[in-house]
Amino acid sequence: MSISPKPQLSLTATMKALFKRDILLAFRARGDLLNPLMFFLMVTSLFPLAVTPDPVFLGKIAPGVIWVGALLATLLSLDLLFKSDYEDGSLERMLLMPQPTLFLILTKVFVHWLVSGLPLALIAPLLGLMLGLPDGGYLPLFISLLLGTPVLSLLGAIGAGLTVGLRKGGMLMPLLILPLYIPVLIFAASAVQSGSQGQPFVGQLAFLGAYLAFTLAICPLAASAAIRISVAR
């Protein structure tokens, strides 16, 4: 009597299973989940104490303060993107699966953005209110974070993949990916600044949208190659 081989899961079923697993693991490690958000809150809340409580001055620098805080908070969470999978062997198993690795990486990046980037976008308007952001800056702030934080996660996946096998990879990763973050920071802060001054900001948001499309096409492939290099070492 022959035993039929176990059927392989389809790509969609595998991505769904990986999504549910990563969401469950993220909410089990609630400390790691809240650390970036708490860091974001502390940086933006303590900044007025370091300069001046003048609402006019704070309103002018609020776009840069909020976006720098969001960028640093994202960096804080990137080291955990592939680390636990590497330590328990799940990452090597993922590379050996018949499904394209880039789609599995894209699923993990989406979970990372969902639990770290999206909360930053949702809470940013409240911080803008605290910093005295002008009324015209709230819409571009929210949209720029919705477009920009996925870019930060996608670009961060490349750095996380390259450093996943290193003991002190968390210290090296910012040096690798910060130059790629600079266009996001410039155009996002410029969009919020333009909106605050009553000027058009569609051009800056269009650039962020184009950059998001570019990173969606390139970063999963690059992260997949980076992970294979790290695992093979």
- Centroid of chain to Cα 11: 24
CA-nearest of 98, 82, 47 to 68 is 47
Q: How far is CA 137 from CA 67, 88, 134, 188, in A?
A: 13, 44, 6, 11
pLDDT tens track for 172-214: 788 888 899 999 999 999 999 999 998 999 999 999 999 999 9
Give the burial string for 173-191 (b: 16+ CB within 10 Å, else e): bbebbeebbeebbebbbbb
Q: How confident is the model at residue 3 (pLDDT cuts 50, 70, 90)?
A: very low
User: How many Å apart are CA 101 and CA 229, to the nearest integer?
Assistant: 14
Residue 1 pLDDT exceeds 50: no
Q: How many CA atoms lie less than 13 Å away from 34 in the CB half-sphere?
A: 6
Q: Which two tokens stand for residue 150?
A: 């996925």
Q: Please, which pLDDT band fits residue 233 given cuts at 50, 70 and 90?
A: low
DSSP label at residue 117: I
> What is the model's pLDDT at position 4?
41
pLDDT at 49: 82
Distance in angstroms (rounded) separating the CA atoms of residues 91 and 227: 8
Query: Distance between CA 37 and CA 160 in Å, rounded?
Result: 19
Give the pLDDT confidence score for residue 48 in this predicted structure: 80
Q: Report the candidate in 119, 112, 189 with the shortest Cα–Cα distance to residue 151.
A: 112
Give percent above pLDDT 90 in the chain: 38
Please state the rounded mean pLDDT for residues 139-161: 93
Q: What digits encode the pLDDT tens for the residues 111-144?
A: 999 998 999 999 999 999 988 899 899 999 999 9
SS3 1: coil
Instruction: Give residue-wise pLDDT tens across range 45-104.
Output: 888 888 777 888 888 888 999 999 999 999 888 877 888 788 777 788 887 877 788 888
Question: How far is it, in rounded angstroms, from Cα 54 to Cα 128?
Answer: 14
Confidence of residue 151 (pLDDT cuts 50, 70, 90): very high
User: For 91-99, which contacts have Cβ atoms below 8 Å and span 24 or more sequence positions?
Assistant: 91/164, 91/227, 91/231, 92/231, 95/227, 95/228, 95/231, 97/14, 98/8, 99/9, 99/11, 99/14
- CA distances for 43 relative to 17, 67, 82, 222, 232, angstroms: 36, 11, 26, 31, 38
Q: What is the DSSP letter of 11?
A: H
The predicted-structure confidence for 7-56, as pLDDT tens digits, reads as follows 456 778 888 888 898 888 888 877 777 888 888 888 888 888 887 778 88
